[in-house]
Chains A and B, each alone.
Chain A
């Protein structure tokens, strides 16, 4: 039994009544005995799970969340549901998943999946043996504009950070801005910022401004130290808008880029908005990270 499967079963213990537990044990046994080629029973069991176990939050403890990250770098099951965890256990129980037919077996499930199944499957990719085989599939999830599916593939998982090439990674980041997904939950964002991403993001900012549309605050988390004078000018422009969350995001951006003089000059001007004050406080304490954009999400 894989360590991640054991871990998930432990997390599930308090949530499953005797009947649900009995079904899961039996379904796992079925999965372990399935043939090496794709067939109907495995996807059917994944579907049936929704009729056997509750869709309530898994609610792992802090210690359990830390263990998850130790088991699989970047994995945070904080927002998983019980149903998703059960489906992950079924996938991890599937015989021959590590074999040459593994991708075909899982493709068959993806092809007929509903929204809830898609979310569970994308969250599970990071836990699979030799998971580089599923990189194309994970990219498909990050192309979805349904925010729940996108988040399942892109957020709270170390998979894209570890596996995506630069093109796919940058598309994932920019897509988060388009679908309004929580970019701060994309594991490894701060570790994979580059000049090309900054150019794409600054182009996007100019398109938005030409159309007289607002800028999502997390946009400014995509620059880091990249973008040069163009980035600095764009950040300073944001500070002159009446969008408080945008000003807070831009201030964090200035601090992340190391434009200390600009940052301090703005602080001296006395912007009293609570969001801006909060951002100033964080930036003065230490160089802001992607996590510091969390309070600005959705604003």
Chain B
């Protein structure tokens, strides 16, 4: 099977992960801009981080046959540093139109503060103005209310519901998102958010339409193989193959493909790997023989 993990922070992951993802059938990923576990102190670190998302990380993933796309934005946590947030938002237009940028994201609320709302609105208006998809991070605390408000503010700012993806849903929030006409994404975390078993039941209850499974794997305890593992569990537990494909591949492709930045035909071709390619003095290889034109199984 082939999989699309439309939310994963590869900058925090190793080449072992990329290799395992490739072997497990993960063909494409989206890396949304997020915080790095602690607050940044100046705009330059945002610029360099965003540069790495359209540079080194894309290149590194390609060496393992994984197509890398990204979303650009100012996350909710760091929106609370208002002085820095102003400087960061001023830089955002420089990166929003780069090749492979499929959305503005991940943006939204953390503590649902005024400062967060200001940055969220600014970015929603920017996305609406440029007809871009938006990836929304929903808050850990006061999630249900946070999601309702995220949707309402997105509507106010002129974002089409067909271009709004609300992420980190659970059983309590999914109906609101589907009723609004937006895409409902679910992050499968081993200990928090959503487990694979619960995901199976959600697909069984709500069906596969507009539902997306992702890993959001990052620098914390998380699993970059969440999407393929959940797909296999869905099949084991009697979810139709078509529904599994929709929730772990096609829906993400349809939602983010609206950006015009995903070459769908190229994604369907069997990928090959050329690890001879290097990036800025660094190869991902450390002395081992490069894998050249090794075909990645695509079945």
Contact = CB atoms under 8 A, between A and B. Distances in A.
Interface of A: 40, 43-44, 47-48, 50-51, 111-112, 114-117, 143-148, 178-180
Given A40-B94, A47-B95, 8 more contacts: A44-B94, A51-B261, A115-B58, A115-B59, A115-B99, A146-B278, A146-B279, A179-B278
A115 B55 contact: yes
A115 B60 CA distance: 12
Most chain B CB neighbours (cut-off 10 Å) among A51, A112, A114, A115: A114
Contacts of B51: 112, 114
B279 A114 contact: no
A146 B99 contact: no
A145 B283 contact: yes
B33 to A, nearest CB: 14
Interface of B is mostly: loop
B162 interface: no
B277 interface: yes
Contacts, number: 61
Interface string B39-54: 0000000010001001
Contacts of A147: 276-278
A149 to B, nearest CB: 8
Contact of B98 (A114, A144, A146, A180): A114
B97 A145 contact: no
Contacts of B54: 114-115
Contacts of B277: 146-148, 179
Interface in B86-132: 93-95, 97-100
A170 B226 CA distance: 48
Contacts of B99: 47, 50, 114-116
B98 A40 contact: no
B94 A145 contact: no
17 contacts: A43-B94, A44-B94, A44-B97, A47-B95, A47-B99, A51-B260, A51-B261, A111-B47, A114-B55, A144-B279, A144-B280, A145-B278, A145-B279, A146-B277, A146-B279, A148-B277, A179-B277
Interface in B52-77: 54-55, 58-59
B192 interface: no
B38 interface: no
A47 B276 contact: no
B205 interface: no
Contact of B281 (A115, A117, A145): A145
Most chain B CB neighbours (cut-off 10 Å) among A47, A144, A147: A47
Contacts of A43: 94
6 closest Cβ contacts across the A-B interface? A145-B278, A114-B54, A146-B279, A47-B97, A114-B98, A50-B99
A117 B279 CA distance: 15
A44 B279 contact: no
A47 B277 CA distance: 24
Contacts of A146: 59, 277-280
Contacts of A143: 280-281
Contacts of A40: 93-94
A145 B279 CA distance: 4
A146 B51 CA distance: 14
A50 B100 CA distance: 10
B14 interface: no
B69 to A, nearest CB: 12
Contacts of A44: 93-94, 97
A48 to B, nearest CB: 5
Given A40-B94, A43-B94, A115-B55, A180 B276 contact: yes
B282 interface: yes
Contacts of B98: 47, 50, 114, 117
Nearest to A144: B280
A146 B283 CA distance: 9
Contacts of B261: 51
A112 B47 contact: yes
A48 B97 contact: yes
Interface in B202-248: none
Contacts of B282: 145
A222 to B, nearest CB: 19
Contacts of B97: 44, 47-48, 50-51
Most chain A CB neighbours (cut-off 10 Å) among B97, B100, B277: B97
Nearest to B91: A112
Contacts of B280: 143-146
A254 to B, nearest CB: 27
Nearest to B289: A213
Contacts of B260: 51
A279 to B, nearest CB: 23
A51 B262 CA distance: 11
Nearest to A117: B98
Contacts of A47: 94-95, 97-99
A217 to B, nearest CB: 15
A47 B260 CA distance: 14
Contacts of B281: 143-145
Nearest to B53: A114
Most chain A CB neighbours (cut-off 10 Å) among B51, B55, B99, B276: B99
A44 B95 CA distance: 8
Interface in B269-297: 276-283
